[in-house]
């Protein structure tokens, strides 16, 4: 997304938007206008970018709010797995490539 000035063109320049096109490995510049039309297109693109940034900040805030709960749940899972493994060893099992088996089988 940029304002480009061409030699011999208007002083305000031309507004181009970078878009991905299916089948092309690189983005393509799409002409959006000059003057008022270009400013309107630039304002719409800027509004979409600010909206995406606000959504990203919301997602990051939610992730930060649940980070402690996720950490506690992971600790609980690790403790439960350790306790279950200890119980299986006490009852005569062994871990065979990630699969618990009774010894002698």
pLDDT tens, position by position, 64-78: 999 999 999 999 999
Q: Structural domain tally of the chain?
A: 1
Round the average pLDDT of the chain to a whole number and report it.
89
Provide the pLDDT for residue 32. Answer: 87
pLDDT tens-digit series, residues 8-37: 667 778 888 888 989 999 999 888 888 888
Provide the pLDDT for residue 56. Answer: 96
Provide the pLDDT for residue 14. Answer: 87
| Secondary element (H or E) of residue 94 | strand 93-96
Residue 70's domain spans which residues? 2-102
What pTM was computed for the model? 0.56
pLDDT tens-digit series, residues 43-63: 998 999 999 999 999 999 999
b/e map 25-56, b = 16+ CB within 10 Å: eeeeeeebebeeebeebbeeeeeeeeeeeeee
| Secondary element (H or E) of residue 80 | helix 35-90
Provide the pLDDT for residue 66. Answer: 93
Q: Please give the Cα distance from 87 to 43 (Å, whole number).
A: 64
């Amino acid at each position: 997304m940029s304002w480009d000035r061409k030699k011999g063109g208007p002083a305000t320049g031309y507004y181009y938007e970078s878009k991905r096109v299916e089948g092309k490995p690189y983005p393509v510049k799409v002409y959006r206008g000059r003057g008022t039309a270009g400013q309107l297109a630039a304002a719409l693109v800027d509004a979409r970018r600010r909206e995406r940034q606000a959504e990203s900040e919301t997602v990051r805030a939610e992730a930060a709010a649940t980070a402690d709960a996720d950490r506690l749940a992971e600790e609980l899972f690790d403790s439960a797995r350790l306790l279950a493994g200890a119980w299986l060893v006490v009852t005569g099992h062994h871990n065979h490539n990630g699969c618990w088996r009774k010894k002698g089988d």
